[in-house]
Structure 1
Amino acid sequence: MTREELKRIFAEELETIAPEVDLSMIAETDNIQEYFDLDSMDIFNLLAALHQRLIIDIPDNDASKLLTVKTALDYLVTLVPE
């Protein structure tokens, strides 16, 4: 799966959890949790949604790797086969 496909999936799942989120509004290095005022449950739900959609295991301890678009994509690329 390409980085662009992963970005689209990441954005879709995030928007499902927090409909007010529009990733085009922020830089890839901005903290999405702070920028969009997401709580820890939102991030947990994002982990679960990505787990289900991509059929990958994301340990709870790795939640911090999903706090910017860049780090999320860098992380997801390592877990999802092309």
Structure 2
Amino acid sequence: MTEQEARAAVYTAIHQVAPDVDTDDLAEDARLRQDLELDSLDFLRLVEIIAETTGVDVPERDYAEIVTVTGLIAYVGVHG
């Protein structure tokens, strides 16, 4: 999966989980839980949507790698 495809998938998933987040002005260094204010259930839903739409399963042991939007894009790009 290209970086552009991964970015599009991540932005779409973020929009589905947190529709109030403006993905047009989203800083990619934004932290998913703190800056985007995703609670634990939102984060799990985000990971679930990524798995459903891209086929990239994120095991719990890898959650530390996807703290930021950039981290999630990179993870999806590498594993997708």
TM-score by length of 1: 0.83
The answer as to 2:71 corresponding to 1:71 is: yes
Residue 9 (structure 2) aligns with: 9
The secondary structure found in structure 2 opposite 1:19 is coil
| Residue 56 of structure 1: how far off its partner (Å) | 2.3
| Aligned residue runs from structure 1 range 40-59, under 5 A | 40-59=40-59
- Report the AA paired with residue 37 of structure 2: D
Matched letter for residue 41 of structure 1? L
Is 1:61–2:57 an aligned residue pair?
A: no
**TM-score for both structures, normalised by structure 2:** 0.85
Distance 2:56 2:11 in 1: 17
State the Cα RMSD in Å: 1.5
Segments of structure 1 that go 5 or more residues without pairing to the other structure are none
Matched letter for residue 77 of structure 2: V
Aligned residues: 80
CA distance in 1, matches of 2:32, 2:58: 18
**Which residue identity lines up with residue 66 of structure 1 in the other structure?**
I
Q: Structure 2 regions of 5+ residues with no counterpart?
A: none
* Percent sequence identity over aligned pairs: 25
Indicate conservation of the 8 Å contact 1:47/1:63, yes or no: no
